[in-house]
Homo-oligomer: A and B are copies of this chain.
Amino acid sequence: MSEIKEQAKKCGVLGCTGMVGQRFLTLLSRHPSFKVFKIGASSRSAGKPYEKACKWKLSEALDANISKLVVSECKPENFQGCDIIFSGLDSDVAGEIESSFRSAGFAVFSNAKNYRMDPSVPLVVPLVNADHIDSVANQKARYGGYIVTNANCSTTGLVLPLKALMDAFGVLKSISVVTLQAISGAGYPGVPSLDIIDNVVPFIDGEEEKIETETRKILGTFDGVQFLDAPGTNVSAHCNRVPVLDGHLSCISVSFETKSKPSIAEISRAFEKYVPLPCEMECYSAPSSSIRVLEGVDRPQPRLDRYAENGFAVTVGRVRKDTVFDVRFVALVHNTILGAAGSSILNAEIAERKGLL
């Protein structure tokens, strides 16, 4: 692998000590053509070797080479030589820092929410709207570099099956989604254990709004100049935090605009046949099937199914007739892999294939 790594793209990871940052490092440590080159965090961590700066919280042990890397402050001058910048920064600092990297000419792939709804920045769920990445030409012209954001973790688990339905059956008239979200989505220390053991919390600050607005941008189009929201896509979201480590589950109901309603079998087939661009392009991290329809009557379940396709697929189950909408089903996404770091990495892989790095 060392030889391949010679040719590898050099990556900088901002916000490397957080939950998403840890996932970035784990995924990149196994990546054949991306290599962790620089890591950044707050001034509190800067100057320390990673293993001292970080409370490692994943079950997979960290790569020994990465654990020796010294953490820098998140300033462009500390990341010279990087081909790609991944950002797992908290939103309270991401805005300014990512902007400074873009101005310094870097290609920034960010999981932070700050620029998602920015009219000049693409919001890309790689298995859904990879073509929106083309819009970075406009940013490049203006700033030198560019930012590509990926979506909120729970949004990601929703838009993938929705896109498969849109492609097959046209406009989605109304969508109801109720999420049961894992604690890792709140970072570390995140959710206090006193709040979640023997409990669920029916509220996640800002999450319902993110799902409702991001979905329209992601399912919409880029016309060369601007992003246009998907027409008629009306989403109602209730969000809950549950005592699960990883994996956001959603109960989804959908109504189609078309009068000729598809059958349950047709809908399941639409999920299974859905092949997004990164799968066609054979990107390294692309799953062999991006939506996996599970047969078990009680699936998907976070503990059993979150690592399907190494965490890069959405699993779907219980596709059945709805009594108020047209169809209902359950979907699961690994919130820190496909729902966060994994999508950023896939976005960078797409950018590489498109010659945008």
Interface residues of A (CB under 8 A from B): 19, 56-61, 174-176, 178, 180, 183-184, 188-203, 212, 234-236, 238, 240, 242-245, 249, 251, 253, 297-304, 306-308, 317-318, 322-325, 328, 330
Contact = CB atoms under 8 A, between A and B. Distances in A.
Contacts of A176: 176, 253, 324-325
Contacts of A202: 249, 251, 298-301, 317-318, 330
A249 to B, nearest CB: 6
A29 to B, nearest CB: 16
A251 B199 CA distance: 15
A60 B249 CA distance: 18
A192 B194 contact: no
A325 B245 CA distance: 31
Interface-central residue, A234, A235, A240, A307, by most chain B CB under 10 Å: A240
Contacts of A183: 193-194, 197
Given A235-B324, A240-B251, A322-B236, A197 B301 contact: no
B188 A200 contact: no
Given A57-B195, A174-B324, A180-B240, 9 more contacts: A19-B194, A59-B303, A59-B306, A178-B238, A183-B197, A184-B194, A202-B301, A236-B253, A242-B242
A58 B202 CA distance: 18
A19 B192 CA distance: 13
Contact of A194 (B190, B234, B242, B308): B190
Nearest to A196: B193
A303 B198 contact: yes
Contacts of A299: 202
Given A199-B301, A234-B323, A236-B324, A245 B194 contact: yes
A56 B194 contact: no
A197 B203 contact: no
A244 B199 contact: yes
A318 B202 CA distance: 9
Contacts of A308: 61
Given A234-B323, A236-B322, A236-B324, A242 B192 contact: no
Contacts of A235: 323-324
Contacts of A251: 178, 202, 238, 240
Contacts of A317: 202
* Residue in A60, A199, A242 whose Cβ sees the most chain B Cβ within 10 Å: A199
Contact of A193 (B192, B200, B297, B300): B192
22 contacts: A57-B195, A57-B304, A58-B304, A61-B308, A176-B176, A176-B324, A180-B180, A183-B194, A189-B189, A191-B194, A193-B243, A197-B245, A198-B302, A198-B303, A202-B249, A202-B298, A203-B297, A203-B318, A234-B324, A236-B322, A236-B323, A238-B328
Contact of A188 (B192, B245, B298): B192
Contacts of A200: 180, 242, 244, 249, 301-302
A318 B330 CA distance: 24
A196 B245 CA distance: 10
Contacts of A195: 57, 189, 193
Contacts of A174: 324
A95 to B, nearest CB: 25
Contacts of A298: 201-203
